[in-house]
Structure 1
Amino acid sequence: MMRVVVIVLLGVHLAYAGTHSLKYFYTGASGDIDFPEFTAVGLVDDGQFMYFDSNIKKAVPKTEWIRQNEGADYWDRETQVLIGSRQVFKDNIQIAKERFNQSKGAHTVQIMYGCEWDDQTGETDGFCQYGYDGEDFLSLDLKEMRWITPVPQGVPTVHKWNNDRADLEGRKHYFSTVCIEWLKKYLEYGKSSLQKTVSPQVFLLQKDPSSPVTCHATGFYPSGVTISWMKNGQEHHEDVDLGELLPNEDGTFQRTSTIRVTPDEWKKNEFICVVEHQGKTVTEKKIRAKNAPDDSSSQRSSFWQWLWNFKSQ
């Protein structure tokens, strides 16, 4: 019989203590696609609080705390900013297609930007990265105050943007000051919900004795969780696949780790799934592995002016 033990590490620290982040993800797409041409998502501490796409043409709140604290003027500004960003992304896709010598097919340009703040040390950081068709295209090195690219097709844009020192200084100010101010404001808005700590539920799932075993942690908040495996008391990393962190509809998160071993190996060894959340160890948790969890239950606008196109002239 397969011997599997679950150790759940729970925590007592508030989510509000530590490093916090404000992130935005913009995605522009072209070609024969069945989803919006442009989408934008905003997240605080990895939890979504706003959404926009080119079909609905409207920025909308996704949490009660932002809905209660920002009125119509805020959402009108966000909407206008994102409507303008859509055209920039359309232009950038066309420019990138020309540089990569592409004329057909579906293509995407993405940007992730935002900032982080450590409320213990006061340290801050910012980031801005562009991608094309899922690969790195451009990134901003704030320490060196310059743009860099891993591909030759990004060089003309890097030269253009690095020659504009006023723009670089403006971006530095945005990421070190403006973005941090908005992050702190959002954290204050959502203090009651963002401070919560919700422990994960852990499920061990296996379709049949020859299938991989999945350790599924779900329903936890904040998002920081570690899932690992031990074999006979030793850390075990072989044939282990860690899944992506995914949001649940109730604002909590889920993540899985799958291990592949033969039934005979299971019988001869003791495997342990270790789930760590917020740093404290609790070992008296009953294993529940009969059924899969029900996942369904469970001045920023100033940045828009820097969503330049990729042209070198």
Structure 2
Amino acid sequence: MKLMILLLFCHGASAVEHSLKIYHIISSGHPNIPDYVGITDFEDTGMTYYDSNMTMIEPRHDWVSKLMEGDPQHWKKKSQDCKNYEQVFKDEANSFNQHSKQTGGVYIVQQIFGCVWDDETQKADGFKEYAYNGEDILKFDLQTETWIAANPQAEITKHEWDGNTANNQFWKNFLTNFCPELVKKYLTYASAFLHRTDLPSVSLLQKSPSSPVSCHATGFYPDRALMLWRKDGEDLHEDVDQGEILPNHDGSFQMRVDLKLSSVKPEDWRRYDCVFQLSGADDKIITKLDKAEIRTNSGKPSDTTVPIFVAVVVLAVILISVIGFTVYKKKKERDSKELSRCSYQNCNIEPKCNCAQKSEAINNNETATLRFCKRD
């Protein structure tokens, strides 16, 4: 019962399935970042944020703010629940660290739990997992109400937790009953946000004069769109590299399509254009292949370049903690794309930008208030 009270609101799709996912992160050994972070995702979009330096949960979207304004005392209590659960999770993290026999240095423990609810079949499926330094260690089995250990070090904790039947029964009820009810509640507030239509900004990018030209669109919603290169109005299929639709932390999406210039004669540039179109929409965004419009490494850097890379060092450990759920994300449908949040627009033209810096850049470039790398 105590655990239920503590966790009640320390939380953070497709047209049919709706998801709520809650992330807790404990890190040690880094003085410049919070040692506890709690993140809530609703419909794979950042909903709320909380860390050990705060007293109240922070909303990440206007619809969440309206939800909080409707019952401020309720949210105040849930913020306290998050603060209390911080100690519960720290105790679990210390136990994992002892069992790992790690004697020093930085260690990171991640916890993810939540549910997916199908609004047609009314069926719900829940999950709860732990990872230590990026490796899976424990997973809750809803059917048997027991824990599955991923390595020998986790066996000790598994046997301890298997014996706590009351806590395991609570988790099964929470994940299969209470969590889906939260999803339904949030859907009523988030409806306008989820059903909006946003057009993207489109840019032409090029790493070097010999590199392909990328037509990059970012900020569009929903995640159903067509993007292609044309020549004389005809779709191109050769010398074209089609990228995936990837999520931005603010709930919008980005995509790109590359054109190899080796087959394009200089005098023929005017015959090429890039087309973006949202699924079901009549309007198209057409961008002509124009050398004057291409952003390259030799061009003037954007104003956000300096703050982007200053923030990289401060957020490095939290980035690692998020990447630590790679294994889990690859197991779950729809979640694999969340690990590819590098800003193609700002990082692809920077030769010294590694993968870690890219993930940092997209989060810091797109919102100054973001405090964690994700997958917001």
TM over 0.5: yes
Q: Following superposition of structure 1 onto structure 2, how do residues 103-122 of structure 1 map, counting pairs within 5 Å?
A: 103-122=103-122
CA displacement 1:232-264 (0-9 Å, x = unmatched)? 748988xx986963314xxx42445687x9864
Indicate the SS of the match to 2:53. Answer: coil
Aligned match of 1:253: 252
Q: Work out whether residues 275 and 287 of structure 2, in 8 Å CA contact, stay in contact via their aligned partners in 1.
A: no
> Which residues in structure 2 correspond to 1:252-271 (within 5 Å)?
252-256=251-255, 264=262
Distance in 1 between residues matched to 2:156 and 2:44, nearest whole Å:
33
The Cα shift of 1:61 comes to 2.3
**Contact 2:55–2:80 (Cα < 8 Å) also in 1:** no
> Aligned residue for 2:123?
123
Change (3 A) 1:166 1:105: same
Structure 2: distance between partners of 1:272 and 1:120: 41
- Counterpart in the other structure of 1:66: 64
CA contact (8 A) 2:277 2:283 kept: no
Matching residue of 1:9: none
In the TM superposition, what whole-angstrom CA distance separates every residue of 1:181-234 from its partner, at most 9, and x where no partner exists?
Answer: 111111102222222233444444212233465453311234x46899999748
Query: How much does 1:63 deviate?
Result: 2.4
Corresponding residue of 2:22: 24
Match of 1:57 in 2: 55
2:155 — aligned with what?
Answer: 155
Structure 1 residue 296, shift from structure 2 partner: 3.5
Unaligned runs of 5+ in 1: 1-14, 299-313
Find the residue that maps to 1:39 and give its secondary structure: strand
Question: Aligned to 1:208, what secondary structure does the other structure show?
Answer: coil
CA displacement at 1:135 relative to structure 2: 1.8
Counterpart-to-counterpart distance in 1, 2:197 and 2:135:
35
Question: SS at the partner of 2:91?
Answer: helix
Q: Which residue of 1 aligns with 2:137?
A: 137
**Equivalent pair of 2:131/2:138 in contact (CA under 8 Å):** yes
More strand by share: 1
User: Aligned in 2, Cα 1:287/1:228: closer, same or farther, shift over 3 Å?
Assistant: closer
Identity of aligned residues (%): 31
Partner Cα separation in structure 2 for residue 170 and residue 79 of structure 1: 21
Alignment correspondent of 1:217 = 217
- In structure 2, relative to structure 1, the CA distance for the partners of 1:210 and 1:179 (3 Å cut) is same
Larger relative helix fraction: 2
Q: Which residue in 1 is equivalent to 2:294?
A: 290
Equivalent pair of 1:58/1:79 in contact (CA under 8 Å): yes
Map of 1:132-281 to 2, 5 A cutoff?
132-211=132-211, 214=214, 216-222=216-222, 224=223, 233=237, 245-248=247-250, 252-256=251-255, 264=262, 280=280
- Cα 1:227–1:126 change in 2 (3 A) is farther
Alpha-carbon deviations, 1:145-186, whole Å to 9, x = none? 432122211111122223333333322211111111111111
Tell me how far apart the structure 1 counterparts of residues 156 and 257 of structure 2 sit (CA, whole Å).
43
Inter-CA distance 297–159: structure 2 relative to 1 (3 Å threshold): closer
Shift of 1:17: 3.4
CA distance in 1 between counterparts of 2:61 and 2:283 reads 34
SS of the residue 2:26 aligns to: strand
The structure-2 alpha-carbon separation of the partners of 1:138 and 1:202, relative to structure 1 and needing over 3 Å to count, comes to farther
Report what 1:34 is aligned to.
32
**CA displacement 1:74-96 (0-9 Å, x = unmatched):** 22222211112222232233222
Confirm or deny: 8 A CA contact 1:93 1:107 kept in the other structure. Answer: no
Match of 1:75 in 2: 75
Q: Match for 2:23: what amino acid?
A: F
Structure 2 stretches of 5 or more lacking a match? Answer: 1-12, 230-234, 266-271, 296-344, 347-361, 369-376
**CA 1:102/1:219 → structure 2, altered by over 3 Å: closer, same or farther?**
same
Identify the residue that residue 332 of structure 2 maps to in structure 1. none
Name the Cα RMSD after superposition. Answer: 3.8
Tell me if structure 2 keeps the 8 A contact 1:126–1:142.
yes
* Corresponding residue number in structure 2 for 1:48: 46
Normalised by the size of structure 1, how large is the TM-score? 0.71
Mean Cα deviation higher: 35-44 or 286-295: 286-295
- What letter is aligned with 2:294? K
1:39-69, CA deviations, whole angstroms, 9 ceiling, x for partnerless residues? Answer: 1111211222221111123212232223223
- Give the letter aligned to residue 53 of structure 1: D
What is the identity, as a one-letter code, of the residue corresponding to 2:210? Answer: S
Paired with 1:273 and 1:123, the residues of 2 have a C-alpha distance of: 42
Distance change (3 Å), C-alpha of 1:32 and 1:161: same
Alpha-carbon distance, 1:125 to partner: 1.4
Offset at residue 25 of structure 1 (A) = 1.2
* Larger RCO of the pair (alpha carbons < 8 Å, separation 6+): 1
- Cα contact 2:275–2:286 (8 A) shared by 1: no
